[in-house]
Structure 1
Amino acid sequence: MHAITIPEPGGPDALAWTEVPDPVPDAGEVLVEVVAAGVNRADLMQRQGFYDPPPGASPYPGLECSGRIVALGPGVSGWAVGDEVCALLSGGGYAEKVCVPVGQLLPVPDGVDLVTAAALPEVTATVWSNVFLVAQLRPGETFLVHGGGSGIGTMAVQLAKAVGARVAVTAGGPEKLERCRELGADILIDYREQDFVEELDKVTGGVGADVILDIVGAKYLQRNVDALAVNGRLAIIGLQGGRKGELDLGKLLTKRAAVTATSLRGRPQAEKATIVAAVREHVWPLIAGGRVRAVVDRTMPMRDAAAAHRVLEESSHVGKVLLTT
Structure 2
Amino acid sequence: MSVPGVHLSHCQFSKEHKTMKAVVIEQETLVYRDIPDLVPRPGELLIRVRAAGLNRADLAQRRGAYPRPATGGESAFNIAGLEAAGEVAGLGEGVSGFAVGDRVMAMCAGGYAEYTAIDHRLAVHVPARLDWAAAAAVPVAYMTEHDALITNARLQAGESVLVHAASSGVGIAAMQIARFWGATPILGTSGTPEKLAALTVHGLDRGINYRTENFAESVLAATQGTGVDVIIDHVGGSHFHDNMRCMALRGRLVSVGRLGGRMGELDLDFLALRRLQLIGVTFRTRTLEERIAVTQRCATDLLPALADGQLQPLVHRTFPLQDALAAQEYLASNAHIGKIVLTVS
The two structures have a TM-score, normalised by structure 1, of 0.95
User: Which whole-Å CA distance do the structure 2 matches of 1:213 and 1:54 have between them?
Assistant: 28
User: Which whole-Å CA distance do the structure 2 matches of 1:165 and 1:222 have between them?
Assistant: 24
Look up the SS of the partner of 2:199 in the other structure: helix
Q: CA deviation at 1:205?
A: 1.3
Where does 1:1-325 land on structure 2 (aligned, <5 Å)? 1-9=20-28, 14-54=29-69, 59-89=78-108, 91-166=109-184, 167-325=186-344
Listed one character per residue, the Cα deviations across residues 39-81 of structure 1 (whole Å, up to 9, x for unaligned) are 0000011111211124657732211101111111111111111
Gaps of 5+ in 2: 1-19
Q: Is the 8 A contact 2:316 2:338 kept in 1?
A: yes
Q: Is the 8 A contact 1:103 1:269 kept in 2?
A: no
Q: Is the 8 A contact 2:133 2:315 kept in 1?
A: no
User: Which whole-Å CA distance do the structure 1 matches of 2:283 and 2:214 have between them?
Assistant: 29
Structure 1 residues 180 and 42 mapped into 2: Cα distance closer, same or farther (>3 Å)?
A: same
Look up the SS of the partner of 2:37 in the other structure: coil
User: Which whole-Å CA distance do the structure 1 matches of 2:212 and 2:89 have between them?
Assistant: 51
Look up the SS of the partner of 1:51 in the other structure: coil
Q: 1:36 corresponds to which letter in structure 2?
A: A
User: Which whole-Å CA distance do the structure 2 matches of 1:239 and 1:147 have between them?
Assistant: 11
Look up the SS of the partner of 2:189 in the other structure: strand
The two structures have a TM-score, normalised by structure 2, of 0.90
Name the % identity.
40
Structure 1 partner of 2:7: none
Q: CA deviation at 1:183?
A: 1.4
Q: CA deviation at 1:110?
A: 3.1
User: Which whole-Å CA distance do the structure 2 matches of 1:55 and 1:178 have between them?
Assistant: 42
User: Which whole-Å CA distance do the structure 1 matches of 2:69 and 2:221 have between them?
Assistant: 44
Once the two structures are overlaid, the 10-residue window that deviates more, 59-68 or 265-274, is 265-274
Q: Is the 8 A contact 1:138 1:164 kept in 2?
A: yes
Listed one character per residue, the Cα deviations across residues 110-163 of structure 1 (whole Å, up to 9, x for unaligned) are 311233211111111000001110001111111000011100011111110111
Once the two structures are overlaid, the 10-residue window that deviates more, 30-39 or 276-285, is 276-285
Q: CA deviation at 1:172?
A: 1.1
User: Which whole-Å CA distance do the structure 2 matches of 1:233 and 1:54 have between them?
Assistant: 32
User: Which whole-Å CA distance do the structure 2 matches of 1:184 and 1:190 have between them?
Assistant: 16
Q: Is the 8 A contact 1:67 1:114 kept in 2?
A: yes
Structure 1 partner of 2:15: none
Look up the SS of the partner of 2:132 in the other structure: coil
Q: Is the 8 A contact 1:213 1:234 kept in 2?
A: yes
User: Which whole-Å CA distance do the structure 1 matches of 2:180 and 2:298 have between them?
Assistant: 14
Once the two structures are overlaid, the 10-residue window that deviates more, 285-294 or 139-148, is 285-294
Q: CA deviation at 1:241?
A: 0.9
Q: 1:156 corresponds to which letter in structure 2?
A: A
